Structure 1
Amino acid sequence: METNQNLKLFIVDDDRFCANVYEKYLKNHNYENITYFSNGEECLDELYNKPDIIFLDYNMEDLNGFEVLKKIKRYNPNIYVIMVSGQESIDTAVNALKYGAFDYLVKNNNVCKKMKETIEKIVMIKEEISQNKLRGVRRFFSVLF
């Protein structure tokens, strides 16, 4: 089972205050390995550090969230990207999912709680995937021997 400590999280938001709030909340829930980036370029430059989950602000100065999302997905489609936005726009949400985001969260009073719930969902999915891989490997070897 992957522990909270093993999960590598990136928070990408040009609003330092928001990012601080997310980081404090997640650290209070035992997610220790969190790296903050104030823009998309910085985040893209650090993808070689293999983050598991990236919380990505939609509306940033340099590159908008969609541009960053597409580049992350091209670099590694297995990184879970959660788009976070100040606006409640169905179009933006649909496009985020279309470009490969795992989820779309609106910045509101319970956004931190939603972040934690989304991480928990992803941990369950990762666990399920690794169990299935093990079963697949066992099946493969039982056919061979």
Structure 2
Amino acid sequence: METYNQNLKFFIVDDDRFCTTVYEQYLKNNHYENITSFSNGEECLEELYQKPDIIFLDHNMEDLNGFEVLKKIKRYDPNIYVIMVSAQENIDTAVNALKYGAFDYLVKDARVCEKMIETVEKILKIKEEMSHSKLKGFRKFFSILF
């Protein structure tokens, strides 16, 4: 599991510089090193060619709101895990975030950083499961051939 951490590429998108700094530091304290921060959605969208695995996306930003950015990310690459982060604990916002393809919706509260790490761990489990099931599929495929 540890070796996979270093391979994960994170984008943090938030127009609040304080938030991005806190998130970045917390991720680094948990041995995630490959992190790029953006202060708006446009910058993030221009850099999607870097193929981030996980994007923490603020819902309420000045230029493009989080939903617009989320939709464009998902159109670009549906396999990127996007976690919407919002100051509002609003059920409609949460439901819409998931409807538009967010993996999770986190509220900016005292535990937001811990919740980010918990979500990353869930994603790592999913990625691990997927790679195991792919291997099983390959093995099955090859056992048929040979």
TM value normalised by structure 1: 0.98
- Structure 2, unmatched stretches of 5+, are none
Classify the secondary structure of the residue corresponding to 2:67: helix
For residues 1-145 of structure 1, the aligned pairs below 5 Å read 1=1, 3-145=4-146
The alignment yields a C-alpha RMSD, in angstroms, of 0.7
Give 1:3 deviation, angstroms. Answer: 1.9
Classify the secondary structure of the residue corresponding to 1:23: helix
The number of residue pairs the alignment matches comes to: 145
Give 1:34 deviation, angstroms. Answer: 0.4
Percentage identity across aligned positions?
79
Partner deviation per Cα, 1:58-89 (whole Å, 9 max, x = no partner): 00000000000000000000000000000000
Partner deviation per Cα, 1:80-122 (whole Å, 9 max, x = no partner): 0000000000000000000000000000000000000000000
Give 1:4 deviation, angstroms. Answer: 1.1
- Structure 1, unmatched stretches of 5+, are none
Q: Which runs of 4+ in 1 moved over 3 A?
A: none
